[in-house]
Amino acid sequence: IVVPIITTKISLAPTTMNRPLLISCLLASAGSISAFAPPQSSTVNYAIGRRRSTTPLFSAIVPPPEERSDANPSTKFGSPLSDGLKEANRWSIGFLKGTIFDTFFAGEDRAYARFYALETIARVPYFSYLSVLHLYETLGRWRRAKYLKLHFAESWNELHHLLIMEELGGNDRFLDRFLAQHIAFGYYGVVILSYLINPIFAYNLNQDVEEHAFSTYDEYLKENEEMLK
């Protein structure tokens, strides 16, 4: 059965009527931070009917009890971070914010360009996670579908943020696109290396990036509250 799908292009130009869409996008970014918290343990029913499935596909989606410690890439390959490493992550993100973003994207008319750059960079870690997890699966080291699904969904969420910023004109200038895309390319390699060494470190670094993005959006909303009403 073929189901026809009708697509409609909706203009998201920065008009007064479309500003609520921007607000929705900005607030939605806050939800990304919670994705990096370690999952809570829960009781899972591993039985299907009266038989417990032992097929590789089922165990990849719902690991059997004896392999629960392997269900999370952080517990499988990672190790806890010291306070010094966490502080180093926060410092590095703050340094980039102060030297690049606060300089290159300064000015009231540069808000959408700044948001475009943030969303371009914010998608990258999820691509890096997926690349490493696919590598582990290819080499037979680890195979779990949960985190492949999770990180793909997160990248898809960031894509829609990026599309909104592009429609608002954030990528109009060549230099803005050049800077954002080249930072993203370098960040992709950094996160892959970090994830291979210690997934917890990579997750913590991304959490700091997401918190920076949230604080940037929150500041913009407070400063432009009247205009956005």
CA distances from 28 to 53, 93, 150, 160, 223 (A): 38, 21, 16, 10, 18
Mean pLDDT of the chain, nearest integer: 77
User: In the structure, what pLDDT confidence band is assigned to residue 12 with cuts at 50, 70 and 90?
Assistant: very low
Instruction: For residue 56, name the pLDDT band (cuts at 50, 70, 90).
Output: very low
Per-residue model confidence (pLDDT) at position 6: 38
Task: Please determine, for residue 47, whether its predicted confidence score (pLDDT) is greater than 50.
Answer: no
Q: How far apart are CA 24 and CA 12, in angstroms?
A: 13
Residue 100: predicted pLDDT: 86
Does residue 4 register a pLDDT over 80? no
Does the pLDDT at position 21 exceed 90? no
pLDDT of residue 33: 44
Separation CA 187–CA 127 (nearest Å)? 11
Check if the beta carbon of residue 40 is closer than 8 Å to that of residue 59.
no
- The more confident residue out of 210 and 226 is 210
Strand ranges in the chain using DSSP code E only, listed in sequence order: 47-48, 51-52
List pLDDT tens digits, range 85-114.
999 999 999 998 888 888 999 887 899 999
Compute the distance between CA of residue 86 and CA of residue 152 in angstroms, rounded to an integer.
25
Condensed to tens digits (0 to 9), the pLDDT of residues 137-189 reads 999 888 878 889 989 999 999 999 999 999 999 999 999 999 999 999 999 99
Please state, for a pLDDT cut of 90, what percent of the chain lies above it: 48
What is the C-alpha separation between 153 and 18, in angstroms, rounded? Answer: 25
